[in-house]
Amino acid sequence: MKNNAPLIHPAYTDAVFKHLMLEDEMRNAFFSRVLGTEILDSKMMDPALSPFDDLHETRTLIEELIRKDNLKKLKSFSNVITEEERPLLQKVLQCLQRVQAQFPDKQRLTTLDVICRTTSHMINI
């Protein structure tokens, strides 16, 4: 009986799968089995497939700061800070959108996830 149910977790969100795919031998064995051909070597091309996100805390902070309710709170600080500090706060508020662009959501941004080398050709996944 064939199971047509969709996967519960796409591969790019499944932490266990991502950890397994970090190991060259596991990744090559997995793709060899799935593709039905011996994979000699493979390379991960999409950083979203990595289970480690070094910028997670920074990304979370920036996303939280630019929420409308928090922006409103930050703007209200201009009433309690000194005239000397006010320009700095205004610069921070103006730059938050640009700063967020430097820490976009970690998501799949590529159409090429893995390159596999076989005995006779390359396979792009």
* Residue 48 pLDDT level (bands cut at 50, 70, 90): low
The confidence score (pLDDT) of residue 75 equals 87
Per-residue model confidence (pLDDT) at position 68: 87
Residue the block writes with tokens 């703007």: 75
How high is the pLDDT of residue 32? 95
Residue pLDDT, tens place only, 55-110 = 778 888 888 888 889 888 888 988 888 999 999 989 988 888 788 877 766 665 55
Q: Select the more confidently predicted residue: 15 or 122.
A: 122
Roughly what angle, to the nearest 10 degrees, separates helices 68-76 and 86-102? 160
| Backbone CA torsion sign across 29, 124, 37, 107 | positive
**pTM across the whole model:** 0.52
- The number of residues in the chain equals 125
Query: Which two three-digit tokens encode residue 71?
Result: 């922006």
